[in-house]
Amino acid sequence: MNVLLDNSQYFVNGFLNTIKLFLISGVLCLILGTILAMMRVSPVPIFRAFGTAYVTIVRNTPLTLVFFFFAFAFPLLDIVGELREYYFFAAVTALTFYTSAFVCEVVRAGINTVPLGQIEASRALGLTFGQALSSVVLPQATRSVVPPMVSTMVALLKNTTIAAGFSVAEAGAIRDILSERGYSAMIGLLWVALFFIILVIPMTLLQRSLEKRWSVAR
């Protein structure tokens, strides 16, 4: 308990950074992932090819390697100028780059679960494209997108800890500070693990209940 109380400021700071990292890259990868999914289902072949290539390459690359690239190699290219918090920027970029491939697949799978007959029927009823999308396709797609999306977000939250290895002062880096100050690393890590469990379990429960409530019988 002392380990936690004596270092509460580091714990609070670390987890605030973790949550900041999670929220920023979460929003960004939802946007980028949706754009990629739109490319993957678009009627223009070149967009489809690009989306497929992106997803195939990124999903088969270790996230640590993506971090490695953005933290160490990317600055050499001199694309962005000097940044005050470069490593935080690198972490957000790496997480967004990596997770959006998974978001893309979730969204695409969701769109593909809507049977062709649904939109054909709405066309036959004379709905416009916008109407068909907003009142027929999207409500059904949402049901099959949201539960797996929650698991993707859980994975993103857990993946933020990798940033600790690349000079971002977030929850995974608390151990460094503790051992510097002479506290037991193990107990500190157990607290970190506990807080992660507290953050993750509600999301998992939410995902399960959504899955049960929203599963469409087809």
Partner 1 sequence: MSASALFDLPGPKARMRYRLYAVIGTLLIAGAIAFVIYKFIDAGQFDGELWAWIEYEKIQTDLLAALGKTLTAFAASAVLSLLFGAIFAAGRLSDHAIFRVPSMIIVELFRAIPAVIMMFMFHYGIQLGDPFNSVVAALTLYNGSVLAEVFRAGILSLPRGQSEAAYAVGMRKTQVMVLVLLPQALRAMLPAIISQLVVVLKDTALGFLITYEELLYYARNLGGVAQFGRPLIPVTIVVAAMYITMCLLLAWLANYLSKRERKSKKHISTDDGPLPNKPVIMDSTANPAPSL
Give the integer Cα–Cα distance in Å for 27 and 99: 11
Task: Select from 12, 27, 83, 155 the one that contacts partner 1 (CB under 8 A).
Answer: 155
137 binds partner 1, rule: CB under 8 A? yes
139 binds partner 1, rule: CB under 8 A? no
- Which region holds residue 70: left if phi is over 0, alpha if psi is between -120 and 50, else beta? alpha
145 binds partner 1, rule: CB under 8 A? no
47 binds partner 1, rule: CB under 8 A? yes
Q: Closest by alpha carbon to 85, among 21, 146, 38? A: 21
Give the integer Cα–Cα distance in Å for 185 and 170: 15
63 binds partner 1, rule: CB under 8 A? yes
**What share of residues in the chain are helix, strand, coil (percent, to 5)?**
85, 0, 15
Q: Closest by alpha carbon to 15, among 187, 136, 207, 196? A: 196
Task: Select from 8, 12, 23, 62 the one that contacts partner 1 (CB under 8 A).
Answer: 62
Task: Select from 92, 104, 150, 162 the one that contacts partner 1 (CB under 8 A).
Answer: 162
Give min distance, CB of 186 to partner 1, in A: 3
Give the integer Cα–Cα distance in Å for 129 and 39: 18
For partner 1, the binding residues (CB under 8 A) are 41, 43-48, 50, 56-57, 59-65, 68-69, 72-73, 76-79, 99, 102, 105, 109, 111-112, 114-116, 118-120, 123, 133, 137, 152, 155-156, 158-159, 161-162, 164-165, 171-172, 175, 179, 184-186, 189-190, 192-193, 196-197, 200-201, 204
